[in-house]
Structure 1
């Protein structure tokens, strides 16, 4: 009961705490609702945007990616330069250290907290950057966090890596001078009034920005930091939905088993009370009150444990996402719901256990139950099959004599196995994602993206860089793809013919060629749009003449990270109405010349940012391992509690029922070990029978988790190997063994004389 309450309070409390913290941080720092990019829009346009119905505030900013040149870091990193917000502006900064930069000193910046901590930066330190081939040294005046970059994901990265990617807020005048954007902006953020139509405002913003190179506005749900945070919250909600029902179901089962035995022992007293005038209602109330007392202890312990674990989990997430504070939720509703559901489970188990005796006539109730009459099952087939010691036959007969209780024990232990199978599979799934994403699809060592378009001849310059073994051009273009009323903003990838460093995989995991015409959609994108091979999709290009095309879907590719659409490089350029150009390259690199390659790239004008596959893989593994270790450890402990509780209760009840028989066997000369083997044999049969059922139910849990946790940012492959079932069973068997050993002392202390004198 305590475990069920704790998991409910833990899951709901952590989700509620993070949502409250996020919303409070967003509100305090005026996090924007709409985001848009343009090439060069005049600041006079802001007045027209603010006049759009539903718009509270609009702010024009300048963004710029610079290459980092940090001491002790051979590989180049990236620094996103953002013009500083005003005191009453949008996406305001929360200073953790130092001060805001002086607007009159254009080389002063405030840096993001994660980046500062990764490099040990404090106010007064210098940071060297390269932009357009020119070196610029900037001075750190402060360290801050922003609601816009709670999850600071670098370009092309899958996980935040503050060592290689950071944010720097710089006075707008200095950034405008660098970008030649005096009196203009290239990034827009908008705050909406409560109840305003986001879709209508986005449409009007797009219309205003289109003449100035607008690439399509997006709502907050598509802002990368918010989207990743929301995906994490979705996982926590899934845990809060799946785990508590398992524990509460087991608690109801245990109450029924234990109380059923207690009622059988007190059958004569119940009959006497009924003869004295007590009705069935009074009998039921007595036992329900007894169970409610137990439930009260479980609820109190669960409240305390859930609040403690929930605060710890929420605090861990708050640190991971760089929240400046944590508003831990202690909503009475959560505690009340946990208490009510637990009480209902306990009462259900109690009523079911007592109903068979409470309505018996007094004379029948006072009479002892008829002795157990064992019989040969299935014409003696059981005995013939065993052909064994009589004690083995006793084990099987006792289990079959109480089939419902036996099935209840099997079911309870199977839920422990299922809880583990439903979580341990994530290890194999993580490795599958890594294998497909890092070794079979994106097989490059380094990806470089330019700050603008490059002519195809430039790929030869890339191939001449030190250490480059192979280089393939890549074209990335923003577009909005749709089918019917469903649309999504994506980046279309243009791949060259015969691409080997960037490969598309079919559903059977075999590489596929990029078709000459049409597009290849990832499974996730095809499912969202509801299209298949041969269907037409609408493609609205967000650059150039912003034409709208109808494009056929040629293939469906495998993919677990993001939504993607790919086509032949020449085809994508033709769609955009541009010549033979590309925006980046994927490179196979000689490891012995990495440092020389990085040094050349730093000094190359036009290089935007680099993604280093080995570093992305390492960060992905670290984050995955941290999350899995915490969650799997919690689930293993909770599953052990289930197995321990079910086995312990099962043995105690069996010992109570068979005390006279076991004592008789001791009198007849059986040793303590032989007597204990009868009880252990029963629990061994029940535990072993529970394993395949637990595997089956756990597989169902895993399927439900995959469907519930999947989002547009990533999908989780379902990979359940034999090792998952083996680990789950070993943990449960260990808990069952510990429980059995705990009861061994009671068997050893069995009072033969006292038991033989007992009437039952």
Structure 2
């Protein structure tokens, strides 16, 4: 082993705590890179394999009622590979000891053989027997939530008639990866079911014998979905087609796609932050290491070592730290990815989900960590090449500290001697103190940002369910009904208030930008379900135009005063050109509101409602729900308390749990930065501290001189960290937000205070660890020049 390599090992052992902290920061960045990249890779591959194996359709074409012979015409559209007609409908499932029925989707299966498209995965039990019309397959998640097994019986209401079914098997399907009740965003296995029935039995229940109400279409390779969607709409229009749509707009696929996109963005933006911090820390360590070993470098050059050999020695120090951290990060990334893949499998109903990392990801992670760490080192290594042996062996020229003398003299009457030493040190080396301040501020900024995002999730839930939605339950009807139904609801004992709404399936269009969604008709002023502006003021639905949610306005690139084209996808299917009168803040979905009377007039369907928001007396809620359940026109009841609980569960235990990982990681990097600053300061001042001890300073006074500087820098970092945190919180919240929901960044006094407290606690722990070294300082050894 060469002398330089032995010196390298001694340096690594001497600085083991510092290098461990830096390696941990690098490991965190690599962990995120490997974990997020692996999750993206696993979700994409598993989703595609699942779609292909069970032949998920590329185009869905719902229709009111179309004869079976139209399937032949659909199959003749150029670019169509296969067509499948099926029957679908809503259902209400009665659960024992549960007042409110569970909403369900009934889907037909052919009597014999597998469907050509949208096949199901049989998880348990057997397939349907065509001889028994009362058999069903039940969604596995729902069955597990209610302890149902093959052989059990359930009751369900379909098209106003009650049926009793026997469960033949439990199933999953790629079109129900994300299973949520219509109109809701959060999945809840206990409150949404899918029933697969024999096609003949379901057609008879919905009065669709010899007909279908949804066509499934798969495309040939290279076929253009928009052209085929337009052709399908033309064929089905006269039969009540409500507008075909591609897989990209299918709700389950849309959720999983948004999740993958968010992970991909995070994997590209978050790890570089940690790599940058690691490079910054290594830059400080190596630069101060070279300054401290200036004389040694001169001696090495005098004995014949070249600048390249000496530079390679210090570069190996950087490489060993970065590669060790990267390898640790790779291992932790795989373990974290495997743990999170179980969470994703729980919320996205994959039959299987194996966490797989592309081997190239490991190489990329290692190379990125090495490159980022080396970037900081290369800036310092240039000094080695500039040092001549004769110059290096001489002490550096004394710095000019005359400017700081006046400052210290002015403070002499106010500060004691140890405190003046602290101020003098900071004043004489302002750039070094500034670098340490920025490093600590970045750590605090990460902590504040993550606390702000955590608070944003809670604020979104509180604002959405306490301020925006003030109802107790939402009732939806099978089809738009007259106002007579509202009077029936108002007459129920226990119903305090009823607020109607109208929801119409539409396609919003502004030039080439489109969005498939719903136009909601709202009363004005609304009391139970309101639109709110950015400053939490109510926005009223208007008769002279529509108001759009901020996500929808951004997607359509439209502003108040512009006009939006609204293509209605039901009834007479008019095309409306409506002015945009305003925008509002939306936390869930991308809604648009129009005054309900004006909407019905535009559709030429006066006094029609799709449902109602209810405020109910808690003492009579059981009787109210029982009465509503027996109304044949009711498609479903959604309790606000249940919807809120589902959303909170998704945010705290599902994909939203990623933010907790980020908060923990922010705490780790904060401590790493603060501890490194303390260790570097101690390494630089060990000789000075020993001198103070020899001059008569106590251990406490010597430690105060060192840790007082750390405390001063930490206090200076707090306001800067707060500003960094506010900016980072907005960026991270935007990364978590999608077209389906918006997460506000809630950086308030609590977030800043808790972030500052985390930094102060980290500084106290780091100071305590360093003080132990100060107390154990060997005065003779510290005063000697290190060989």
Q: TM-score, normalised by structure 2?
A: 0.92
Q: Which residue of 1 aligns with 2:703?
A: 676
Q: Which residue of 1 aligns with 2:83?
A: 58
Deviation at 1:140, TM superposition (A): 0.8
Q: Distance in 2 between matches of 1:428 and 1:654?
A: 35
Residue 180 of structure 2 corresponds to residue 153 of structure 1:
yes
Q: Distance in 2 between matches of 1:442 and 1:28?
A: 41
Q: Which residue of 1 aligns with 2:460?
A: 433
Which segment drifts farther, 398-407 or 343-352?
A: 398-407
Residue 565 of structure 2 corresponds to residue 538 of structure 1:
yes
Residue 475 of structure 2 corresponds to residue 448 of structure 1:
yes
Q: Which residue of 1 aligns with 2:201?
A: 174
Q: Which residue of 1 aligns with 2:330?
A: 303
Deviation at 1:722, TM superposition (A): 0.8
Residue 674 of structure 2 corresponds to residue 647 of structure 1:
yes
- 1:580 is aligned, of 607, 632, 649, to 607
Residue 379 of structure 2 corresponds to residue 352 of structure 1:
yes
Pair 1:733–1:627, CA change in 2 (3 A): farther
Q: Which residue of 2 aligns with 1:107?
A: 134
Residue 270 of structure 2 corresponds to residue 278 of structure 1:
no
Which segment drifts farther, 113-122 or 625-634?
A: 625-634
- 2:494 is aligned, of 441, 455, 467, to 467
Which segment drifts farther, 353-362 or 335-344?
A: 353-362
Q: Which residue of 2 aligns with 1:83?
A: 108
Q: Over residues 628-654 of structure 1, what are the superposed CA-to-partner deviations in whole Å (9 max), with x where a residue is unaligned? A: 984344233322332333233322332
Q: Distance in 1 between matches of 2:656 and 2:558?
A: 38
Which segment drifts farther, 229-238 or 52-61?
A: 229-238
Partners of 1:66 and 1:131 within 8 A in 2: yes
Q: Distance in 2 between matches of 1:512 and 1:745?
A: 61
- 1:323 is aligned, of 309, 325, 350, to 350
Q: Distance in 2 between matches of 1:512 and 1:348?
A: 52
Counterparts of residues 590-739 of structure 1 (less than 5 Å) = 590-627=617-654, 630-739=657-766
Q: Which residue of 2 aligns with 1:30?
A: 55
Partners of 1:110 and 1:170 within 8 A in 2: yes
Deviation at 1:351, TM superposition (A): 2.1
Q: Over residues 448-477 of structure 1, what are the superposed CA-to-partner deviations in whole Å (9 max), with x where a residue is unaligned? A: 111123222221112112321121222111
Pair 1:570–1:655, CA change in 2 (3 A): closer
Q: Which residue of 2 aligns with 1:396?
A: 423
Q: Distance in 2 between matches of 1:637 and 1:450?
A: 46
SS in 2 for 1:56: strand
Q: Distance in 1 between matches of 2:316 and 2:48?
A: 43
Pair 1:677–1:52, CA change in 2 (3 A): same
Partners of 2:159 and 2:206 within 8 A in 1: no
Q: Which residue of 2 aligns with 1:549?
A: 576
Q: Which residue of 2 aligns with 1:420?
A: 447
Deviation at 1:519, TM superposition (A): 2.0
Pair 1:343–1:512, CA change in 2 (3 A): closer
SS in 2 for 1:79: strand
Gaps in structure 1 of 5+ consecutive residues: none
Q: Distance in 2 between matches of 1:656 and 1:612?
A: 62
Deviation at 1:681, TM superposition (A): 0.9
Q: Over residues 25-60 of structure 1, what are the superposed CA-to-partner deviations in whole Å (9 max), with x where a residue is unaligned? A: 112111111112100011111122122222211211
SS in 2 for 1:37: strand
SS in 1 for 2:222: coil
Q: Which residue of 1 aligns with 2:34?
A: 9
Q: Over residues 520-547 of structure 1, what are the superposed CA-to-partner deviations in whole Å (9 max), with x where a residue is unaligned? A: 2222222222333332221211122222
Partners of 2:292 and 2:684 within 8 A in 1: no
Residue 411 of structure 2 corresponds to residue 384 of structure 1:
yes
Residue 243 of structure 2 corresponds to residue 216 of structure 1:
yes
Pair 1:62–1:280, CA change in 2 (3 A): same
Counterparts of residues 131-280 of structure 1 (less than 5 Å) = 131-280=158-307
Partners of 2:564 and 2:579 within 8 A in 1: yes
Which segment drifts farther, 665-674 or 334-343?
A: 665-674
SS in 2 for 1:330: coil
Which segment drifts farther, 391-400 or 624-633?
A: 624-633
Partners of 2:283 and 2:380 within 8 A in 1: yes
Q: Distance in 1 between matches of 2:709 and 2:405?
A: 20
Deviation at 1:507, TM superposition (A): 4.1
Deviation at 1:705, TM superposition (A): 2.3
Q: Distance in 2 between matches of 1:642 and 1:476?
A: 48
Deviation at 1:396, TM superposition (A): 2.3
Pair 1:533–1:754, CA change in 2 (3 A): closer
Deviation at 1:676, TM superposition (A): 0.8
Q: Which residue of 2 aligns with 1:49?
A: 74
SS in 1 for 2:189: coil
Partners of 2:109 and 2:115 within 8 A in 1: no
Partners of 1:234 and 1:709 within 8 A in 2: no
Partners of 2:71 and 2:84 within 8 A in 1: yes
Q: Which residue of 1 aligns with 2:360?
A: 333
Q: Distance in 2 between matches of 1:194 and 1:708?
A: 33
Deviation at 1:378, TM superposition (A): 7.4
Q: Over residues 353-374 of structure 1, what are the superposed CA-to-partner deviations in whole Å (9 max), with x where a residue is unaligned? A: 3322332111111223345664
Gaps in structure 2 of 5+ consecutive residues: 1-25
Which segment drifts farther, 676-685 or 400-409?
A: 400-409
Partners of 2:159 and 2:205 within 8 A in 1: no
Pair 1:368–1:30, CA change in 2 (3 A): same
Q: Over residues 473-516 of structure 1, what are the superposed CA-to-partner deviations in whole Å (9 max), with x where a residue is unaligned? A: 22111112212222222211122344322323344432243323
Partners of 2:347 and 2:654 within 8 A in 1: no
Deviation at 1:179, TM superposition (A): 0.8
Partners of 1:427 and 1:628 within 8 A in 2: no
SS in 2 for 1:658: helix
SS in 1 for 2:122: strand
Q: Over residues 245-266 of structure 1, what are the superposed CA-to-partner deviations in whole Å (9 max), with x where a residue is unaligned? A: 1221121122222222332333
Q: Which residue of 1 aligns with 2:43?
A: 18
Partners of 1:20 and 1:327 within 8 A in 2: no
Q: Distance in 2 between matches of 1:66 and 1:385?
A: 83
Q: TM-score, normalised by structure 1?
A: 0.96
Q: Distance in 1 between matches of 2:684 and 2:482?
A: 86
Q: Which residue of 2 aligns with 1:123?
A: 150
**Aligned residue pairs, count:** 760
SS in 1 for 2:128: coil
Partners of 1:238 and 1:709 within 8 A in 2: no
Residue 95 of structure 2 corresponds to residue 70 of structure 1:
yes
SS in 1 for 2:529: coil
Q: Distance in 2 between matches of 1:137 and 1:222?
A: 34
Q: Distance in 2 between matches of 1:155 and 1:266?
A: 69
Q: Which residue of 1 aligns with 2:7?
A: none
Pair 1:40–1:366, CA change in 2 (3 A): same
- Cα RMSD of the aligned pairs, angstroms, is 2.1
Q: Which residue of 2 aligns with 1:516?
A: 543
Which segment drifts farther, 623-632 or 124-133?
A: 623-632
